[in-house]
Amino acid sequence: MNEAFGMMDEGYFKPRSEILKFINDLLGLNVTKIESLGQGAVYCQILDAMFPGKVSLQKVNWKAKLDWEFVNNLKVLQTAFTKLGIKRIIEVEKLSKCKYQDNLEMIQWLMRFYECNCNKPPGEYDAAAKRKGVEPDFSFADKIVVPKIFNPSMNKPQEEQSEKPKKQVTSSHATTTATNFHQNNASKKAADSNEQKAPSQKLIDSQQNKGRSSSSNIPPPKALGAKSDTPMEKLDKIKKIIQKIDASDAEKLAQISKIVGIKNTQALHQETHEEQKINTDQHHEQEIKINQEHEQIVQEHEHSHNLLHQEDDENLMNNEEEHDLNKNNDHEDEECL
C-alpha cells in the first residue's frame, strides 16, 4: 500500500476543477466547493470505494451542518484508517473548520492515494446505494459569514431600543415653539450657573494652583501595559548574551547588568574596587599589628630568658665563693690541728 507522497508529488499540483470532477464522477454528487469537504462524509465514501465494508458508513451523518457533527464524521474516517493500517494523520480540528487550504491538501492526498492503490473505474462503485438514497447537504458551505460591527445601541436594554415615540409632531409651528422653549431654558440655566460660580471662582482657582504646584513634585506614573520580565525570561536573555561570540566581555557585562537592574556598571566597579582596597588595607593593618605583638612577645621572652640566665650565673658565682670559703676554713682548721 503506497501512501507516502512528498510535497513535490504530482498529486499536490492538481487543479481544483480536476479534483471536483473526480469526486462528482466517483460519488455521483454535485460538490462545488473544496471547503464543503470538511463535513467528512465525502472522505469516508472515497475510502469505502477503495476498501468496501471497511468504513462504517451507517455512522456517517450525510446531512451534517454543525462543527461537532463534522468531527464525528472525521472520527469515523480516522477509525477506518487505523483498521486499514494507514499511517496518515487526520487533523480533525483543522478539517472540521472547513478551511480551503487544509481540506485541499487532504483531498489531494486522498485522490493520489486512490490512483496509486485502486484500479477500479469510477462507474463500478454504486455510491447512491451505499448512501441508501440519502443526498449529502452542502448548503452550509454557501453561507457568507458577515463580520460583527460594533454598534453602541446594541448595549442598551431591549426595552429602551423598542421604545418609540407614540406621537410625532408634524406642524412647523409646534417644532419652532419647542426649540425656542428649550433654548430659553438652556440660557437661563447657564446664567444661573455663572452667578453661582462667580463668588467661588477665586477659591477654585487657588485650589487648582495649589494642586498644580503639588502635582509638579510628583514623579510621572509608569506607562500602562509595561511588563517586567519574569526571572526565567531574564535567565534566557542572560544565556543568549553569554553565548554571543562577537561581543566583548565588557559589552556582555553591560547588557547583563541592564537585565538584572544595575544601571551604572562603572560606579559598581568603582565601589567594589574601593571595598576591595579597604579590605586589603584592613588586612594589612591586622598583619602589622600581629607582627608587632609577636615581636613584643619575643622580646619579653628573651628578656625573661636573660634574667633567668643572669640569676643562674649569680647563683653559680655565689656557690663557688661559698665553696672556696669553706675550703679555706677547712684548710685553716687542719693547720690548727
What pLDDT is stored for residue 182 in this prediction? 60
The model's pLDDT over 239-263, given as tens digits with 9 standing for 90+, comes to 788 877 777 777 878 888 777 776 5
Beta carbons within 10 angstroms of residue 92's beta carbon: 17
Distances (CA, A) of 246 to 238, 241, 251, 329: 15, 10, 10, 105
SS3 167: coil
Please state which of the ranges 1-5, 59-63, 126-130, 327-331 shows the lowest mean pLDDT.
1-5
pLDDT band at residue 267, thresholds of 50, 70 and 90?
low
Which residue, 37, 39, 71, 78, is CA-closest to 55? 78
What pLDDT is stored for residue 241 in this prediction? 80
pLDDT band at residue 23, thresholds of 50, 70 and 90?
very high
pLDDT band at residue 179, thresholds of 50, 70 and 90?
low
End-to-end CA distance of the chain: 150
Above pLDDT 70, what percent of the chain? Answer: 71
Global pTM? 0.44
Residue 333 has pLDDT above 60, yes or no: yes
Above pLDDT 90, what percent of the chain? Answer: 29
**Mean residue pLDDT across the chain:** 77
What pLDDT is stored for residue 191 in this prediction? 59
Highest mean pLDDT among 91-95, 197-201, 227-231, 285-289 belongs to 91-95
Name the one residue in this structure whose C-alpha cell is 538584572. Answer: 260
What pLDDT is stored for residue 147 in this prediction? 42
How far is 88 from 78, CA to CA, in rounded Å? 9
What pLDDT is stored for residue 96 in this prediction? 93
Mean per-residue pLDDT, 313-320: 83
Which residue, 127, 115, 99, 112, is CA-closest to 34? 99
pLDDT band at residue 38, thresholds of 50, 70 and 90?
very high
pLDDT band at residue 33, thresholds of 50, 70 and 90?
very high
Please state which of the ranges 6-15, 149-158, 180-189 shows the lowest mean pLDDT.
149-158
Which residue, 121, 114, 148, 108, is CA-closest to 12? 108
